[in-house]
């Protein structure tokens, strides 16, 4: 093994010493003639470049090597010649090309153990006398739009940049020099000529000439482009959808998203659209596949901009967890570029609208039901609450009051008196409020002490009561002139609502019951009734020490209400009144009315 290594080193040293002057005798790996030819004309510079120094051939970064150029016609090694030849490793420069330079040139790369061979051909054409070069490169200009021509000397410029050698470039149309920024022409960069809005007269030959100094010689190299105008063209595609968006969808649902591409130009563009997911192309086009794409649709547009719309759908028949949290990319492929757009698919947010709507709807329904129940049974609720939680209410026995309510009503010989009123005050109220509900009432005519002054009786007993029930009819507070026209009619109406079995003779009883004891038709204002009303209104409205409950036994018309004392009208407007006649009319159960008075 050591002997082999030593022999290899000796062979490499001999190669470096130039002992092996020929290349025919060497058994090297032959990479034959390069496909690319180098074309030139007499007087130009030319560059031949070997591709053997490449990782595809050997590891040139770690293995030492030597490069030698040979002229295949003579078999002699190429060396530097002032003003003619310059050898720089893998590159052979001709600083002033002649017709005799036409031919093949061989590169041999030697390493300690192997050698590699490759041939490169230089073709030198004679000048024809025309401007430009005999051999031309075909390029296309799109009519009606801005387009560019690209100089084919980029590899020359890259090599010079690696030598830190500056260079300059000039463009010609035919024999005429194109100055940067004049007319429709401009130099976009060192190798690109921009033509604003190409027209048919812009066709023809364009030459780019690169000038530089190498090996002490200033020279140039040129390439000629044959520019042809095309009416059918396409520019860089524009991906309109998707546009870097986030889309949410539900697991298990079907999903589709279109890729929409606009290609400015004229005619049908040569553009392909592909969908990509997880760095893999989605090529399935059959609906039987869970994830597939549709065929590309095509549509020509003339206004507002000429071009073509291309569309291709991505379809997922059933979304699964593996389909989420990844980017789906739509990429368009054309000779002008490969623009793309993408979207990210995420799971849909939980649908909280339905449960929130259900909860709000349920709360609303419960609220409405609660309001209705409270409206219909509010008194029952209050009474039940008092029975269940008596500790929350003040003990009645500790306030010094003897009565729960003072009942004030039109008595005999008073305006608004009738037997129905007397029956209501002396029988109906005690039967329900006292016997059934356990309240204690003070009723004038029943509880008054004989010989007790009216003023003192009213004052003392109102003072001893927690509230006052003011029972009245439509004629209770009216003057004498109104009594004859209203009392009889209203009392008759009350009688009809109280007892449907009574006959028309009740009208005579109502009329006679309003008379005085001596048989006359005179009706006098009751002094006690006045005192009760005045004392009640004063305590309720001025002092605020007494709660007054208004109890209407008859329906009160606006005209009748206008004749009521102002204090009664004010209290009625402020807190309302318990309308006994409504309960009779609606034929509700009697207990509800008394519950309202209890409340």
Measure the CA–CA gap between 479 and 493, rounded to whole angstroms. Answer: 20
Mean pLDDT of 469-478: 84
Q: Is the pLDDT of residue 189 over 90?
A: no
The pLDDT of residue 527 is: 74
Mean pLDDT of 343-355: 87
Q: Is the pLDDT of residue 357 over 60?
A: yes
Mean pLDDT of 122-145: 85
pLDDT band at 447 (very low <50, low <70, confident <90, very high): confident
The helix/strand/coil state of 550 is: strand
pLDDT band at 218 (very low <50, low <70, confident <90, very high): very high
In the numeric block, which tokens belong to residue 56? Answer: 């595809």
State how far Cα 154 lies from the chain centre. Answer: 49
Least confident stretch, 214-218, 266-270, 307-311, 385-389: 385-389
Higher pLDDT, 379 or 235: 235
The helix/strand/coil state of 29 is: strand
Provide the β-strand partners of residue 509: none
Mean pLDDT of 153-168: 92
Provide the β-strand partners of residue 141: 229
pLDDT digits (tens, 9 = 90+) for 53-89: 999 999 988 999 999 999 999 989 999 999 899 999 8
The pLDDT of residue 397 is: 62
pLDDT band at 23 (very low <50, low <70, confident <90, very high): low
pLDDT band at 475 (very low <50, low <70, confident <90, very high): confident
Q: Is the pLDDT of residue 235 over 60?
A: yes
The helix/strand/coil state of 16 is: helix
Provide the β-strand partners of residue 49: 91
The pLDDT of residue 396 is: 61
Percent of the chain predicted with pLDDT > 90: 43
First to last CA, the chain: 121
Long-range residue pairs from 153-159, CB within 8 A, at least 24 positions apart, any chain: 153/191, 153/208, 153/210, 153/221, 153/223, 154/191, 155/47, 155/49, 156/47, 156/210, 156/221, 157/190, 157/191, 157/210, 159/47, 159/49, 159/91
The pLDDT of residue 595 is: 52
Higher pLDDT, 276 or 197: 276
Q: What is the mean pLDDT of the chain?
A: 82
Whole-prediction pTM: 0.44
Phi, psi of 423 (to 5 degrees): -60, -40
574, 578, 579, 580 alpha-carbon torsion, rounded to 10°? -170
Higher pLDDT, 586 or 458: 458
The pLDDT of residue 258 is: 94
pLDDT digits (tens, 9 = 90+) for 516-530: 333 334 444 557 878
Measure the CA–CA gap between 549 and 546, rounded to whole angstroms. Answer: 10
């Amino acid at each position: 093994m050591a002997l082999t290594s030593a022999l290899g080193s000796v062979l490499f040293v001999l190669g470096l010493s130039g002992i092996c002057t020929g290349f025919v005798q060497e058994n090297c790996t032959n990479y034959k003639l390069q496909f690319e030819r180098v074309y030139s004309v007499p007087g130009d510079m030319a560059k031949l470049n070997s591709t053997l120094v490449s990782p595809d051939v050997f590891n040139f970064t770690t293995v030492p090597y030597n490069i030698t150029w040979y002229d295949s016609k003579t078999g002699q090694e190429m060396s530097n010649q002032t003003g003619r030849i310059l050898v720089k490793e893998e590159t052979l420069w001709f600083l002033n090309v002649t017709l005799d330079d036409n031919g093949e040139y061989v590169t041999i790369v030697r390493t300690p153990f192997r050698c590699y061979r490759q041939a490169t051909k230089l073709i030198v054409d004679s000048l024809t006398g025309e401007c430009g070069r005999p051999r031309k490169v075909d390029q296309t200009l799109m009519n009606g739009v801005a387009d560019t021509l690209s100089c084919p000397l980029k590899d020359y410029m890259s090599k010079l940049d690696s030598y830190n050698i500056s260079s300059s470039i000039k463009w010609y149309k035919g024999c005429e020099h194109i100055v940067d920024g004049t007319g429709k022409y401009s130099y976009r960069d060192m190798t690109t000529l921009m033509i604003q809005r190409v027209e048919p007269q812009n066709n023809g030959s364009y030459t780019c000439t690169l000038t530089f100094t190498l090996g002490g010689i200033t020279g140039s190299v040129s390439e000629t482009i044959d520019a042809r105008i095309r009416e059918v063209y396409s520019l860089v595609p524009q991906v309109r959808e998707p546009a870097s968006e986030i889309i949410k969808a539900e697991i298990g649902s079907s999903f589709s998203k279109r890729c929409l591409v606009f290609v400015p130009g004229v005619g049908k563009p040569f553009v392909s659209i592909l969908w990509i997911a997880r760095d893999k192309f989605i090529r399935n086009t059959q609906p039987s596949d869970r994830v597939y794409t549709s065929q590309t649709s095509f549509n020509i547009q003339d206004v507002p901009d000429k071009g073509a719309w291309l569309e291709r759908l991505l379809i997922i028949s059933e979304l699964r967890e593996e389909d989420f949290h990844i980017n789906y990319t739509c990429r368009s492929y054309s000779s002008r570029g490969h623009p793309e757009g993408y979207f990210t698919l995420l799971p849909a947010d939980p649908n909280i609208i339905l449960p929130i709507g259900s909860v709000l709807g349920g709360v609303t329904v419960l609220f409405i039901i609660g309001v209705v129940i409270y409206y219909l049974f509010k008194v029952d609720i209050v009474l039940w609450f008092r029975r269940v939680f008596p500790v929350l209410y003040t003990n009645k026995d500790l306030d010094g009051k003897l009565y729960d309510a003072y009942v004030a009503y039109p008595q005999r010989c008073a305006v608004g008196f009738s037997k129905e009123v007397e029956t209501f005050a002396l029988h109906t109220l005690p039967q329900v409020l006292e016997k059934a509900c356990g309240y204690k009432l003070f009723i004038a005519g029943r509880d008054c002490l004989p010989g007790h002054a009216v003023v003192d009786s009213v004052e003392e007993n109102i003072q001893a009561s927690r509230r006052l029930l003011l029972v009245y009819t439509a004629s209770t507070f009216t003057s004498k002139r109104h009594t004859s026209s209203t009392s009889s009619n209203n009392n008759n109406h009350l009688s009809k609502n109280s007892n449907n079995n009574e006959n028309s003779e009740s009208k005579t009883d109502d009329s006679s019951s309003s008379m005085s004891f001596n048989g006359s038709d005179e009706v006098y204002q009751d002094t006690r009734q006045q005192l009760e009303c005045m004392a009640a209104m004063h305590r309720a409205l001025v002092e605020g020490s007494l709660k007054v409950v208004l109890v209407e036994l008859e329906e009160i018309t606006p005209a009748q209400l206008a004749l009521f004392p102002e204090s009664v009208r004010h209290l009625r407007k402020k807190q309302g009144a318990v309308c006994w006649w409504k309960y009779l009319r609606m034929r509700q159960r009697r207990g509800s009315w008394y519950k309202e008075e209890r409340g």
